[in-house]
Amino acid sequence: MSNETEVLYNAACPVCKREIDHYAKLSEKHGLPIGYHDLGNAAQLAQWGMTEKDAAKRLHVRKDGQTYRGIPAFIVLWQDIPQMRWLARVVSLPGVHWVACKLYDFVLAPILYRWHLWRMARAQE
């Protein structure tokens, strides 16, 4: 089992790409063993055992053989990055965690996914 944290994200999403690029720069600055993988790579999807559609709906993070999605995935990633650990602690607080999960799962992630579908449809026109 690798102790590397792996992140599967949608690089075609401008919001997702900007955020993950920020985390990647912080990771590189500290020499952290975090791999960032675009869901547009079919080989990566196969390794994660999911479809592009499922991968595009949420952020996914794999660490110590376990896959996390959504806010728990962000927390695992933030815990690895020194500048983000404070946010991991805050979002892990019971009430904050519950609100963050609901907001991400039922508002933010669906909006970003619908926007992704809209951009993909426009690209095919």
Residue 41 contacts residue 7 (beta carbons within 8 Å): no
Q: What is the pLDDT of residue 3?
A: 73
DSSP string, the chain: ----EEEEE-TTSHHHHHHHHHHHHHHHHHT--EEEEETT-HHHHHHHT--HHHHHHS-EEEETTEEEESHHHHHHHHHHSGGGHHHHHHHHSHHHHHHHHHHIIIIIHHHHHHHHHHHHHHHH-
Give the separation between CA 10 and CA 2, rounded to whole angstroms.
23
Number of domains in the chain: 1
The CATH number for 106's domain is 3.40.30
Identify the pLDDT of residue 44. 79
Residue 1: the pLDDT is 44
Q: How confident is the model at residue 2 (pLDDT cuts 50, 70, 90)?
A: low
49: pLDDT strictly greater than 70: yes
Tens of pLDDT, residue by residue over 50-80, are 988 899 999 999 999 999 999 999 999 999 9
What pTM, to 2 d.p., does this model score? 0.91
Domain range enclosing 98: 5-124
**Proportion of the chain above pLDDT 90, given as a percent:** 73
